[in-house]
Amino acid sequence: MRRLLLAFSFVALPLATAIALAQGPSQSGLQLDAMDRTADPCNDFYQFACGAWISKNPIPADRATWGRFDELQERNNATLHTILDKAAIGRDPDQKKIGDYYASCMDEPGINKKGTAPLDPLMKKIAGVSSVTDLSPLVAELHTIGVNVFFGFGAQADFKDASVEMAIADQGGMGLPDRDYYLREDPKATEQRKQYVEHVGKMLSLAGSGSSTAADSVMKIETALAKGALDNVSRRDPTKIYHKLTPAELQFLTPQFLWQKYFDGIGAPPIYALNVTEPDFFKAMGQVMASASIDDIKRYLRWQVLHASAPVLPTPFVDENFKFYGTVLTGATELRPRWKRCVQYTDSDLGEELGKAYVKEAFGPQAKADTLKMVHEVESSLEKDIHELSWMTETTKKEALVKLHAVTDKIGYPDRWRDYSALTIVRGDALGNSQRANAFEFHRQLNKIGKPVDKTEWGMTPPTVNAYYNPLENNINFPAGILQTPFYNAKTDRAVNYGGSGAVIGHELTHGFDDQGRQFDARGNLKDWWTPADAKAFTERAQCFVDEYSQFTAIDDVKLNGKLTLGENTADNGGLRISLMAYLATLAAEPSSTIDGFTPEQRVFLGWGQVWCEKRRPEALRLMAQTNPHSPGRYRVNGVVSNMPEFQKAFSCKPDAPMVRPTQCSVW
């Protein structure tokens, strides 16, 4: 699915794999055999909550990371696997599309037999390009089928009038994970660039059009695009990625590229204005088009076609793609079994047809009702918290409460399922299916331009182990996939559920009030509703988190980027705090008791700690620290609890214990 430019998720996961582990039996739902009882919770709470799990669970060879999120995603995948195996036999007409898609993806011999022949018509068109003015219709065709050369295009709510969808043109066209991968000067980055160029060369060679100079040409073009692109910390500032221009103004920035021909090529509705996220990027793109030779541009286009198609090309392409993106960038040593990859692609391309079947199997009305109740309790806690804040004036509090009351809650799955009837899936045509699915999604996005925003739509599929807040819609979204053990279990202790799904709810809710989210109002408009004094007080408090997390080491000499992770860290800290408040408020109505040897408060903290039991390979930690707005599990746990007087009290920690920070940060 195309990525939303602005949506704050709970976790950024490379999609799932491997063996699900048995749940350690306990009365509370905590996994007691995951704990390291020799560790002192006041010294290293993460080790206390997860130490035994970490020492007992090697990272599977086909994984870059392995954690309790992955265990859950694995269980969800096993459910999807059963659904798809049945669907592939083709008895249920409602599941014909997912069955045909999955079966075609699984047919490795059939894919190998065709070779790269299915790409021939496209490669011929690229070969036929004779000047830059030929590019617009070709770029339009490539974008339609999911090959994102040069830039990205789609629809998103207008930041300044979030009730209406508008066209958006964003930076893109690069094969490395982030623009800094092209520009960083350290030895590791230099080595990775060398390996990337080798990879590009091999992919082009496999398709019969490679040479070492061809790969260098690609690198030259992508590096020039990277130089014009904005860094990932700046991109967190919505004012830096909102520039409403007319098509004529965009044309002026990029005289080399014929925009109207591009709009015609993609079949866009009339465009009167669009968000050109970063005008400087488009200037740079125009200069690339003007200065690169047409042969170099053709090499770049060929590479991008192969790169986008790799998962459904013959085995040598799949293996080479894995070698770079799996092994070099994340440290995984084995390719995941084909069925796991095909489950993932089906979820990505036909997520709501597959999700409909998943929800029937895995998500009951009880889970939905319980979650909704918890959402309301956590919302009440945040309301109480805002009322009691010492650093915010009444004027801003009033506005904050207006925004909080306007938040809408979406739980489990969409009320109305997506209609895929316009999408043709052909059994035996894996590449074509993928391209048509991309075209279906692209057109679905383009059709929104100029129309009211549909806030009922979902940005994640139902089996996803994740959640998000959408600042342009002011809603919180919890897919059925995350409302499962260890986040939520209807049969076990509620304290543990508050440490799990309660904290996830709190996390998403506070995103509306983090350094990014706070810039949007109750209706999702980018509009400042803060008094200058309150904005200043907020920024000072947020800086405490920036300083705290910047000290944490991800791997070797790579520290976390406190600015990149600020929104997520604020959400983790606020989320657990207000979930604990919500839990304690309900506790008054029932007797508090010790279960499995832990008090109710201790079980909330352990519930939070244990959702983050995880291991990451060094390569994956490096990638994460450089690109991911979330902190690694250890810091999502210790970084948060060490800010909480409630934690110190719950575990009777001494004031100078490592899990009691001398300066405790808090916003919400």
List, by residue number, the catalytic residues: 508, 572
CA–CA gap between residue 304 and residue 650 (Å, rounded): 54
**Whole-angstrom distance between the N-terminal and C-terminal Cα of the chain?**
32
Look at the block and give the residue holding tokens 């509703």: 529
Convert 535-547 into a string of H (helix), E (strand) and C (coil). HHHHHHHHHHHHH
Q: Per CB under 5 A, which region of 98-106, 320-328, 454-462, 566-574 contacts Zn ion?
A: 566-574
Q: Please, what is the minimum distance in Å from the beta carbon of residue 575 to Zn ion?
A: 8
Q: How many residues bind Zn ion (CB under 5 A)?
A: 4
Q: Residues 6, 571, 625, 657: which binds Zn ion (CB under 5 A)?
A: 571
Q: Quick one: 53 or 549, whose CB is closer to Zn ion? A: 549
Longest dimension (CA), the chain: 78
Nearer to Zn ion, 11 or 83 (CB): 11
Provide the minimum distance between the beta carbon of 629 and Zn ion in the complex, in angstroms, as a whole number: 8
Rounded least distance, CB 330 to Zn ion, Å: 21
Q: How far is the CB of 482 from Zn ion (least distance, A)?
A: 12
Specify the stretch interacting with Zn ion by CB under 5 A; choose among 79-87, 274-282, 391-399, 568-576: 568-576
Residue whose Cβ sits closest to Zn ion: 8
14 preceded by a cis bond (ω within 30 of 0) = no
C-alpha pair distances (Å), 46 with each of 23, 278, 642 = 19, 40, 11
Decide whether 453 or 571 has the Cβ nearer to Zn ion. Answer: 571
Residue 511 beta carbon to Zn ion: minimum distance, rounded to whole angstroms? 6
Q: Are strands 553-555 and 558-559 parallel, antiparallel or unpaired?
A: antiparallel
Under the binding rule (CB under 5 A), the answer on residue 8 touching Zn ion is yes
Site for Zn ion in 402-461 (CB under 5 A): none
Q: Give the C-alpha separation, 70 to 614, whole Å.
A: 9
Contact indicator for 98, 355 with CB cutoff of 8 Å:
no
Distance between CA atoms of residues 315 and 334, nearest Å: 14
CA count, 13 A, side-chain hemisphere, 664 = 21
In terms of CB distance, is 46 or 468 closer to Zn ion? Answer: 468
| Least distance CB 567 / Zn ion (angstroms) | 7
Q: Site residues for Zn ion, window 311-350 (CB under 5 A)?
A: none
SS (H, E, C) 20-54: CCCCCCCCCCCCHHHCCCCCCCCCCHHHHHHHHHH
Cβ proximity to Zn ion, 12 vs 402, nearer residue = 12
Q: Given the complex with Zn ion, which of 568 and 601 has the nearer CB atom?
A: 568
- Name which of 10 and 458 has its Cβ closer to Zn ion: 10
* Nearby residues of 411 by Cβ (< 8 Å), 6 or more positions away: 368, 371, 372, 375, 478, 483
Find the part of the chain contacting Zn ion (CB under 5 A) among 3-11, 96-104, 582-590, 595-603: 3-11
Backbone φ, ψ for residue 499 (5° rounding): -70, -25
Question: For residue 139, how far is the Cα from the chain centroid?
Answer: 26
Q: Is 503 among the residues that bind Zn ion (CB under 5 A)?
A: no
- CB of 473 vs Zn ion, minimal distance in Å: 15
Binding segment for Zn ion among 112-120, 214-222, 563-571, 577-585 (CB under 5 A)?
563-571
Tell me which residues touch Zn ion (CB under 5 A): 8, 10, 568, 571
